[in-house]
Amino acid sequence: MKNLFIQLQHFLNVIQASNNNVTTEYLEAKNNCLEEYNEKCKQLGKDKVIEEIKNSFAGDYSSQLFLLSVLIKELNDFDALLYLLDILCTEEISLDELKHYKTQVIAMLNNKVTTNLDKDIYFKQRQLNSKINKLWRDELGLELPYVPLKERNSNRIVIVTNQLLGVEHAPTRILLELISILQAVYNMQVYTVVAFDQNYDYGNCISPIFLNRIQQLDRFFELDCGSPSMVIGYQIVIDENNINEQRELVEAIYDYNPMFIWKLGSIENFADLFNGVFTLMSMNLTKQLVVSESDILLRYLKGDKKSTYEIERFIEEKKQNIIDFRIPYIPEDNGKEVAKYDSLPEGAFPIVIAGNRLQSELNNIAVDMLEAILEISDSIYFIFIGQVSLDQVTTNKKLISRSRCMGYSDNFYRAVGEGKLFLNLPRSGAAAGAICSIFQGIPVVTLPNCDVASAVGEEFECETLEDMVNQVKRYVTDSEFYQHKRNAALKKAEEEKQINLVDQVGKILSEAKQLIEKKEIV
């Protein structure tokens, strides 16, 4: 183990010296560390190796968390998440620090390649979520009684989320569509609460993720988003210095007396404060089932069948209910110009890679895959849509020279259409880009058990990264195969057009009300 600790310490020193950029020294230190780590896991078993790492910093949970975050984010050992979550669930850690690390865990899962511990990680996330909820309720001194259905205001609903950004932000776009339908079609009064946890760096996670907010929306806001109705609500920046503001907002929502509270996303815990008071419906914005103790879990993307079945049994034991529905996304060409980028040579085969977190998603596993793809044919070029600095994630000159970085484009639909193929990196998100592709007859290459796979179907799935490389090769070299997949993409797009979000929202409201009535009768 001594050599492993030496390699880890050297790797950390290199990371600090390189300012998190990829350099030749960084890659060498990383490979040496990874080789030593894998060798020790093979010799002793992963449980023993991680226990040794934890024991070396006994009583110092912050250092333990930091080293585990290195294993996960730098060495791509996503199974280590289970050990990290166990520390968060068992150690005495402050409420604000727990909420911060919960966000880091979700960010780590966004870049997850594969693990056989999906259900175990979900169970641990639920345990952590319960711990946060209890600590927060105790801090606020909340003892609110349950409000029976017949005493609630039947045309009011409160939606709680952690971010309200621009329409190019997929979760915000979904939020605004839901608000518009609830108001215009179902005559609901909708109040939106944006519960944004203040960003702090506790020094217990390597390269922590920090979220953004629109500061102009702080406190009361009215937002005209071009929909028939205004978005009215309150944005609170939650930190240890505004306990009274948090308590007053809880009391204001209680007095508002809504029929439902609808939680969007797994990051924020504010909505969970109302569990057992009003009916809480929680919905994730990725394929993973939302982490919440709420009465009703809304699911519009399913994960792999085995882990889904085991998690569903857990949900049933907790006496929670799942409502399945669909959110259609019908992309449009807004007529704006595509962002400019360096031209491609004649006969090029461009492959589009799009996302809002490309810099972090282009880890060594993803970069290795891209390098292997370039070896297939000199005609292959990558077009990156989103912010990325390739010289900070790779030293490979071929990858840099045969890539084009478009940045963000005012016309995302047409930008995606610049490619002949849409390649999904190992990650949970990016479904919007994949759907834009199939609507233009552009095939998709993706791993299973992610948002893209759920959105475009098994037709475009590959079991492994090696399979993805081989699939790209077939697209490049077999024109009949390409045409077959192009037709399959257009067929899937036609199926997407048949889904009506208005009807889906009505389904949620109807089934939720039936579940409440059944629960109150029992």
3-class secondary-structure state, position 241: coil
Give me the mean pLDDT over the 283-299 stretch: 85
| Burial (Cβ within 10 Å: 0-12, 13-18, ≥19) of residue 342 | exposed
Residues 68 and 168 in one domain: no
Q: Which two tokens stand for residue 26?
A: 């960084």
Q: Which residues contact 493 (CB under 8 A, 6 or more apart)?
A: 435, 438, 439, 441
Sign of CA dihedral 267, 510, 187, 330: positive
Check pLDDT > 90 for residue 148.
yes
pLDDT at 445: 96
Residue labelled with tokens 């071929």: 398
pLDDT at 379: 96
pLDDT at 106: 85
Of 277, 279, 275, 273, the C-alpha closest to 259 is 279
Computed over every residue of the chain, the mean pLDDT equals: 88
pLDDT at 32: 86
pLDDT tens, residue by residue, 78-95: 888 999 999 999 999 999
Residues 70 and 172 in one domain: no
Flag whether 139 is in a domain. Answer: no
Flag whether 340 is in a domain. Answer: no
Query: 429 or 177, which is more confident?
Result: 177
Flag whether 321 is in a domain. Answer: yes
- Tell me, what amino acid is at 304? D
Of 209, 506, 303, the C-alpha closest to 514 is 506
CA distance 399 to 204: 33
Half-sphere exposure of 54 (CA within 13 A, CB side): 15
Check pLDDT > 90 for residue 20.
no
Sign of CA dihedral 473, 478, 484, 489: positive
Check pLDDT > 90 for residue 188.
yes
Q: How confident is the model at residue 221 (pLDDT cuts 50, 70, 90)?
A: very high
- Tell me, what amino acid is at 105? V
Flag whether 262 is in a domain. Answer: yes
Check pLDDT > 70 for residue 488.
yes
CA distance 490 to 145: 52
Residues 318 and 379 in one domain: no
Q: Which residues contact 208 (CB under 8 A, 6 or more apart)?
A: 100, 104, 201
CA distance 139 to 137: 5
Flag whether 137 is in a domain. Answer: no
Flag whether 260 is in a domain. Answer: yes
149-158, 184-193, 269-278, 321-330: least confidently modelled range = 321-330
Residues 297 and 361 in one domain: no
Residue labelled with tokens 């799935």: 461
As a residue count, the chain comes to: 522
Give me the mean pLDDT over the 480-488 stretch: 96
CA distance 143 to 31: 53
Residues 292 and 413 in one domain: no
pLDDT tens, residue by residue, 192-205: 999 998 878 887 88
| Burial (Cβ within 10 Å: 0-12, 13-18, ≥19) of residue 317 | exposed
CATH number of the domain encompassing residue 215: 3.40.50
Number of domains in the chain: 3
Residues 296 and 155 in one domain: yes
Residues 12 and 68 in one domain: yes
Query: 1 or 353, which is more confident?
Result: 353
pLDDT at 307: 61
Residues 183 and 58 in one domain: no
Of 150, 187, 174, the C-alpha closest to 263 is 174
Check pLDDT > 80 for residue 412.
yes
Residues 402 and 467 in one domain: yes
Flag whether 31 is in a domain. Answer: yes
Q: Which two tokens stand for residue 90?
A: 């068992």
Q: Which two tokens stand for residue 226?
A: 């071009």
State percent of the chain over pLDDT 90.
49
Domain residue limits at 425: 349-497
Residue where a domain stops, chosen among 43, 71, 92: 92
Q: How confident is the model at residue 522 (pLDDT cuts 50, 70, 90)?
A: very low
CB 419 within 8 A of CB 438: no
Residue where a domain stops, chosen among 49, 76, 92: 92
Check pLDDT > 60 for residue 390.
yes
Residues 324 and 368 in one domain: no
Q: How confident is the model at residue 210 (pLDDT cuts 50, 70, 90)?
A: confident
Of 6, 54, 53, the C-alpha closest to 33 is 6
Q: Which residues contact 45 (CB under 8 A, 6 or more apart)?
A: none
Residues 384 and 439 in one domain: yes
Q: Which two tokens stand for residue 57?
A: 């910093």
Question: Which segments of 206-265 are extended strands (E)?
Answer: 219-223, 231-238, 258-264
Check pLDDT > 70 for residue 410.
yes
pLDDT at 305: 58
3-class secondary-structure state, position 155: strand
Q: How do beta strands 219-223 and 231-238 pair?
A: antiparallel
CATH number of the domain encompassing residue 376: 3.40.50.2000
Q: How confident is the model at residue 116 (pLDDT cuts 50, 70, 90)?
A: low
Q: Which residues contact 302 (CB under 8 A, 6 or more apart)?
A: 287, 308, 324, 454
pLDDT at 409: 86
Sheet holding 153-161, edge to edge: 219-223, 231-238, 189-197, 153-161, 258-264, 279-283, 296-299, 321-324
pLDDT at 335: 87
CB 106 within 8 A of CB 286: no
pLDDT tens, residue by residue, 308-332: 788 888 999 999 999 988 888 888 8
3-class secondary-structure state, position 354: strand
pLDDT at 448: 84
For residue 264, the tally of other CB atoms under 10 A from its CB is 25
Flag whether 181 is in a domain. Answer: yes
pLDDT tens, residue by residue, 259-274: 999 999 888 899 999 9
CA distance 206 to 68: 9
393's enclosing H/E stretch is none
Residues 235 and 284 in one domain: yes
CA distance 311 to 320: 11
Check pLDDT > 70 for residue 117.
no
CA distance 307 to 204: 30
